[in-house]
Structure 1
Amino acid sequence: MTTRPPTPSRRALLRAMAALPASAVLLGGLPELTGTAAAAAPASGSATRYTIVPFLNSNDGTVNVYQSDDATDFRLVQASAYTPPSNRIRDASVFKHTNGYYYITYTTHTWQDVSTTIGFARSADRVNWTFLYDYTVPITNLSRAWAPEWYVDSDGSVNVIVSCSTTDDEWIFTPYLLKATNSGLTSWSSPVALSGIGSNHIDTFIVKVGSTYHAFTKNETTKYIEYATASNLTGPYTISRTGDWAGWGSYREGPALVQLDNGGWRIFFDGYGDGNYYYSDSYDTFATWSAPQALAGISGTARHFTVIKETVSGGVSLSKNVSRSLQSVNYTTRYWQEQSSLLNLPVVTSSSTTAEKQASAFTVVAGLADANGCSFRDSSGNYLRHYAFRGRFDANDGTAAFAKDATFIARTGTTSGSVRFESYNYPGYYLRHYNYQLRVEPTSATDLFRQDSSFVPVTAWA
């Protein structure tokens, strides 16, 4: 079978004269996450759903739909979910409108071609998409209109931020804002350049926190993602972070942000220089960021996407203030058990001693750091927490750090009635068994990891 070569980056021409950077070096160890996060875990019976609609490294003529409950482990919902009737589909941005429909806007041509339009499509279910129209961006002498990004302002107005270049220099991009002038998103205001960001910036993504607009944008000269702020959507923006200010490295593009269930912010970006797709988290309003991690499962497959977050029904319903034993999904004779203050997974049967049965029963209580999460208390009143990523039981010392270490967000497991427990302060890290020990480890987005991290709450052994 002939293997199709990867679709070249739209920046290939721009970087052709420069040597490719070395592969990104991931900084050792995930730092303890700081800052006060708002309680945002899904309530009992509800679930968080993150959706992305990326084009593929191997094909820029179609997009897949993936979803995740933790913004880390994305699973395929539909391959080739939308193929436009003509041209290409790159850099798709997705959002859900107040009319209940999902919309994507996208780049309509590959990087080599003149591209004066951006495309629009609509879906009622995120899976089945209908082409709406291609919109010619009304800029004189327009050469390329790339990477349109939805932005819904706090006043409810719907906007698209698009990177545009003109024929006098087709590789120098400036971010422009288009504002929808009707609810059907078929009529747009005249383009307005975002003041202060300036030319030679592309892939501008904006979020608003309080009264401040925060813009993340790629500098096409340095190949770094920069950071700017403004008090108005159209600016003037002040770029205050340049170079490798966040430790993400160079040759990064397509930044997109979403707020996590623990209140932190996650940025995703395309590491086109080394072929990976990365994420990084911030808990201090974008001042500092965790070391970038390759996105498990789809890194190297998915390209340039944005993320929408929703709360949907059908999540885990885990009763609180009830004693439970936790049974492994893939080793059904094994259960959580406290042994010398550590959490292990031995075999427990009706023939086990009373002490063993008592050590395999835990009270599920409201999360110490987030009441919508959960914590586990043993018979002596100690709480399960992660310490050096090992599951262990300690007395609550009353600190915020302990509360976060001892809080888990319940996610749907691999079998009916099973639950996965995600670390509250290390998103994407789950309690899983390895060598029959319980540890908090980052998801590998594999079926084996999902099974190793799935447990069934059952009637307590004691």
Structure 2
Amino acid sequence: MNRPVRTLLALLGPLLMVLLGVPALQGTASASAPPAGQTTRYTMTAFTNSSESNMYVYDSADATAFTLRKGPAYTPPSGLIRDPSIFRHTDGFYYMTYTTNWTGNTIGFARSADRVDWTFLYDYTIPISGLTRTWAPEWFIDTDGSVNVIVSLTTASTATHFSAYKLTATDSALTTWSAPAQLSGIGPNNIDTFIVKTGSTYHAFTKNETTKYVEYATASSLTGPYTILKTGDWAGFGSWVEGPALVQLDNGGWRIYYDGYRAGKYWYSDSFDHFATWSTPNEVPGLSGFIRHATVLKETVPGGVTLPTNTTRSLQSVNFPGRYAVVRSDSLGYVDPVSASSSTAVKQSATFTVLPGLADANCYSFRDSAGRYLRHWDFRVRFDAANGTDTFNKDATYCARPGRTSGSVSLESYNYPGRYLRHYNYALRVDLYQNTDTFRADSSFTAVSPWA
């Protein structure tokens, strides 16, 4: 949002709330991030540019910075492992389905207790006569608990005329399946269909294999009929892209990952308005150019990093330990030298009250001694008085992630996931995560005893 618009909203927000009879107070924020003692874990599974027979496993606390857990983590007894998709079943095990070959009528299944070490289960033959290609199976767990696989099938002699079909597990062991049911309205040549459900609506993201764009469709039933609402480059994803996979972020937004296979890159983009618009795509740090057609599973697990709330702390830079986050007289944030010999004013400038996040009580906000909050504005960090607006609350909320060193913390922007509080030329900013040691150090702080 540009500065004039944000300025107008900031000025009018409290007035509008008064006129509407809504008190402009900083009440308890709602929470969608996990509480203390728990953390979000995003597990990514993918095959790679170097091999279609090996599957790699990564995970992340923020859906942006992924760490390799094992690679290769699984090689099937024969054939390929393209397009691996995983979910966690009610029996506690993780199950994977995948494309077994470029041609044929089977999909593969494997199982794991820990997401890392996998055991082959079986290849399943899709009971449709004349199938020539069986591609990109994706798990979809419906709100009624049913376990489904969405798969792209064709009987054509070439890789054309794909349609999306649904298979539903008919036993809890996931060994028997219903007859394939076609998803009406998706076609006549769409592959890599990925579905999420919000409320009573099914949202399908699917590659048009003719135009090479990802399209968007909705339906009131899993099998349709779907209505294609968006075609062409409607979201700015570009062409010659495939393998869309979605996951919901901690702030309620949605992230889509997709394979820019012609350019050899891997992208993500975010939507915060129920799929209407999407952020400018960014490459997945450290993995773009290596992974292919990934799927990401979100879970809440024990762990994470926390900060003490309703207490005062100073934020010490990890890579410049003599410097601390401060607010200067211009109301902007920096990392400046602070020591025992510093003046009282300097010590106060480096001391903040850690509070439950204004936008999410399981994240954090930081208030200085003058009552102003650390917030970002055009991605620069400054300290402003709270104005009660939704925009301000989000700008002033940061979620804690593991820092570069033991005991340190990185603070991710709540409303711009993937951007972190970091210093650059000693100025504090919220910058897009970079897969470098320098960035990880610049964006890591240790919450220490307050200077004032």
Task: Kindly state the Cα deviation for residue 170 of structure 1 after the two structures are TM-superposed.
Answer: 4.3
Match of 1:68 in 2: 60
Task: Kindly state the Cα deviation for residue 354 of structure 1 after the two structures are TM-superposed.
Answer: 1.4
Cα distance in 1 for partners of 2:117, 2:424 equals: 40
Amino acid at match of 1:245: W
Task: Kindly state the Cα deviation for residue 294 of structure 1 after the two structures are TM-superposed.
Answer: 1.3
2:349 aligned with 1:343, yes or no? Answer: no
CA contact (8 A) 2:316 2:447 kept: yes
Amino acid at match of 1:415: T
Structure 1 segment 188-199 matched on structure 2, within 5 A: 188-199=177-188
Amino acid at match of 1:54: A
**Which of 198, 203, 221 matches 1:209?**
198
Task: Kindly state the Cα deviation for residue 61 of structure 1 after the two structures are TM-superposed.
Answer: 1.1
Deviates more, 1:417-426 or 1:165-174: 165-174
CA-atom RMSD, angstroms? 1.7
Cα distance in 1 for partners of 2:187, 2:232 equals: 16
Match of 2:252 in 1: 263
Task: Kindly state the Cα deviation for residue 171 of structure 1 after the two structures are TM-superposed.
Answer: 2.5
Match of 1:129 in 2: 118
Match of 2:436 in 1: 446
CA contact (8 A) 1:258 1:307 kept: yes
CA contact (8 A) 2:161 2:187 kept: no
Amino acid at match of 2:302: S
Cα distance in 2 for partners of 1:39, 1:81 equals: 35
Match of 1:231 in 2: 220
Match of 1:100 in 2: 92
Task: Kindly state the Cα deviation for residue 262 of structure 1 after the two structures are TM-superposed.
Answer: 0.4
Match of 2:23 in 1: none
Task: After superposition, give the CA deviation of every residue in 1:60-88 in whole Å (9 maximum; x if it has no partner).
Answer: 11011111111111111111011111111
Cα distance in 1 for partners of 2:287, 2:322 equals: 33
Structure 1 segment 63-462 matched on structure 2, within 5 A: 63-109=55-101, 111=102, 114-340=103-329, 341-462=331-452
3-state DSSP of counterpart to 1:228: strand
3-state DSSP of counterpart to 2:162: strand
> Where does the alignment leave 5 or more consecutive residues of structure 2 unmatched?
10-28
Cα distance in 2 for partners of 1:384, 1:415 equals: 23
Cα distance in 1 for partners of 2:449, 2:30 equals: 33
Identity of aligned residues (%): 64
CA contact (8 A) 1:74 1:445 kept: no
CA contact (8 A) 1:38 1:263 kept: no
3-state DSSP of counterpart to 1:358: helix
Cα distance in 1 for partners of 2:54, 2:74 equals: 6
3-state DSSP of counterpart to 1:336: strand
Cα distance in 2 for partners of 1:426, 1:168 equals: 46
3-state DSSP of counterpart to 2:346: helix
Task: Kindly state the Cα deviation for residue 241 of structure 1 after the two structures are TM-superposed.
Answer: 0.8
CA contact (8 A) 1:39 1:263 kept: no
Task: Kindly state the Cα deviation for residue 167 of structure 1 after the two structures are TM-superposed.
Answer: 4.2
CA contact (8 A) 1:367 1:407 kept: yes
TM-score of the superposed pair, with normalisation by structure 2 = 0.92
TM-score of the superposed pair, with normalisation by structure 1 = 0.90
CA contact (8 A) 2:30 2:361 kept: no
Cα distance in 2 for partners of 1:167, 1:310 equals: 39
Amino acid at match of 2:250: D
Tell me the matched-pair count: 428
From the superposition, tell whether residues 79 and 168 of structure 1 become closer, same or farther in structure 2 (CA, over 3 Å): closer
CA contact (8 A) 1:38 1:262 kept: no
Match of 2:14 in 1: none
3-state DSSP of counterpart to 2:258: strand
Cα distance in 2 for partners of 1:187, 1:349 equals: 68
Amino acid at match of 1:395: A
CA contact (8 A) 1:408 1:422 kept: yes
